[in-house]
Amino acid sequence: MLAQNLTFDWTINLGHILTVLSAVAGGYAFMVALRNKLEDLSVRVLKTEEQLVELVKVLIAQGKHETRMDAFDHRFNLQGERLDNALRRLDAYVDRASR
């Protein structure tokens, strides 16, 4: 019974036009805002990548420095062992000479 009285009005009035225009304008504003956010985010990501590259360089330099320090420590310990051996030999020589 309700379907028999259903009719469509194909006229377009100012309210319809304003509704469509506001929906299009809202969608466009959303897309522009989304694009701006995406550009800002890509700039932040690029800056973060640059900082990460610098951090990697610092970490590599620290690793090289640590390697050099380990080599220096090893050479220092070897020199200390040589001095200890020379001191022992000197003590032994002095002991033999004093007898």
pLDDT tens string 65-84 = 999 999 999 999 999 999 99
pLDDT, position 33: 97
Does 12 score more than 90 pLDDT?
Answer: no
Cα separation, 25 vs 47, in Å, equals: 33
DSSP state of 11: -
Q: What percent of the chain has pLDDT over 70?
A: 97
